[in-house]
Amino acid sequence: MSDAPIVRPLPVSGFPEWLPEVRLVEQRWLDTIRATFERYGFCSVETPSVEALEVLTAKGETSQEVYMLRRLQADADDDSARLGLHFDLTVPFARYVAAHFNDLVFPFKRYQIQRVWRGERPQEGRFREFTQCDIDVINVDQVPLHFDAELPRIVHEVLGTLGVPPWTLNINNRKVLQGFYEGLGIGDPLAVIRVADKLDKIGLAGVEGLLTTAVGLDPDQVRACLELTGIRGCDPGVVEEVRRLGVKSDLLSEGLDELAAVLGDLADLPAGDVVADLSIARGLDYYTGTVYEAKFVDWPDFGSICSGGRYDNLAGSFIRRNLPGVGISIGLTRIFAKLLAEGLLTTGPSSPADVLVVIPAAPRRAAALATAAELRTRGLRVETYHQPDKVARQVRYASRKGIGFVWFPPFDDGRAHEVKNMATGDQSAADPATWTPSAG
């Protein structure tokens, strides 16, 4: 062995990786998510991991979190300095729709399952590289409001199928917030939204202080803002609660109508799964209507596991068309890692194989390979052991990898094949032309 210093082989902090038996479960999740999205007719899109800086910062304030690129050995015409890794899938998707506008059929409904990157300090639930599963609809001129309800309904089905522990989808509408603040005579409603969005972190007193000092609201305005923030409820009646605060503006009225319609559309879901929460704002600037934010019921301090909303001015801004959209994102890695850490995932085997074919002795190697090949032509997943060896050792290998069946090709010509069911210990004759695991 070399005397060179040893490079510690750990993955970089904040960049998760899984053992094979965990990855196999993650693959099942991804297959389920994809199948569900496709059952609703959403097509797959992937965009590059990398976008130009001006695309990443076309809207909003998340520049803090962006990983930019640089070539290790940059030369004079290096253009990598203006390239960064995408921090979500919404901005790249909006750019994609604008880029391919003439080749897409609208309304354009796509799902996108990809990694995203954020240059954050790692902590529980916060990774620097993680996979998101997004569905979005973008259309020319208008996206019917029923999509604002259909998207969380699809996510509800996905998480239900995956058996994710209880969670609540909190819904709000940015028009309600902005319209309410405008109705109070506040000049910069976005400033209030940014402060109110910090409620989770700085608490009610912190928000009150900032609204007074940083935004410059008077005590009546502050009180009204805090009253709005405190409204939360499961049924459309919550909209009446807002109206009772007596603030008036056209935008507020429009937002409340939208919020009531979305809540009404989702009223058939189990009670408490969808909650109107007037404190939800979503910090990113690009949302203009409905906003979503989902959290685990049992871990209220854990970050949001799904989020999204309606963005009317994102895709169109690239080509000066009116291209509103609405979307929702499942934070796959965050959910998956949390359930793994809590011991709530049943991990799979560490091999995808249905069968291990043993090689009892060197002269039987050809017969073992031929048997494996025959089983594979029938769609079975088959490992062959890598060398002639003691049979007990080969069976132990199958056991350690969680392979369900061990196949013994005939030790001598003319004898029968045999299969051992690792779960029951039963061993019986089998025909490679007809055997199936369910018959095993």
| C-alpha Rg value of the chain to the nearest Å | 28
Q: How far is the CB of 264 from its own copies (least distance, A)?
A: 13
Positions 293 through 332 that interact with its own copies (CB under 8 A): 313, 316-322
Q: What is the token pair recorded at 212?
A: 């007074």
Show contacts with its own copies in window 354-373 (CB under 8 A): 356
DSSP string, 225-244: HHHHHT-EESSTHHHHHHHT
Instruction: Identify whether 152 is preceded by a cis peptide bond (ω within 30 of 0).
Output: no
Residue 292 pairs in a beta bridge with 171, 308
8 or 201: CB nearest its own copies? 8
89 known member of a binding site: yes
Min dist. Cβ of residue 256 to its own copies (A): 23
Binder of its own copies out of 126, 144, 166, 220 (CB under 8 A): 144
Strands 274-277 and 167-173: parallel
Q: With contact defined as beta carbons under 8 Å apart, do 336 and 326 qualify?
A: no
Q: Which residues contact 438 (CB under 8 A, 6 or more apart)?
A: none
Site for its own copies in 328-357 (CB under 8 A): 350-353, 356
Q: Given the complex with its own copies, which of 201 and 386 has the nearer CB atom?
A: 386
- Burial code of 141-179, b = ≥16 C-beta within 10 A, e = fewer? eebebebbbbbbbbbbbbbeebebeebbbbbbbbbbbbb
Site string for its own copies, 151-190 (x = CB under 8 A): ----------------------------------------
Total residues interacting with its own copies, rule: CB under 8 A: 100
Contact range with its own copies by CB under 8 A, out of 178-186, 229-237, 384-392, 420-428: 384-392
Residue matched to tokens 């960049």: 15
Q: Which amino acid is at 47?
A: T
Q: How far is the CB of 103 from its own copies (least distance, A)?
A: 6
Instruction: Write the CB contacts of 276 (distance below 8 Å, at least 6 apart in sequence).
Output: 170, 171, 172, 231, 232, 233, 234, 238, 239, 259, 263
Q: Which of residues 79-118 bind its own copies (CB under 8 A)?
A: 80, 83-85, 95-96, 98-100, 103-105, 107, 109-110, 115, 117
Candidate list 126, 243, 248, 376; residue touching its own copies; CB under 8 A: 376
Least Å distance, CB 298 to its own copies, is: 28
Instruction: Tell me how far, at minimum, the Cβ of 411 lies from its own copies, in Å.
Output: 21
The stretch among 61-69, 243-251, 296-304, 412-420 that binds its own copies (CB under 8 A) is 61-69
The response to whether 394 counts as a known ligand-binding position is: no
Residues in the chain: 440
As annotated, the binding site includes 88-90, 118, 132, 136, 282, 286-287
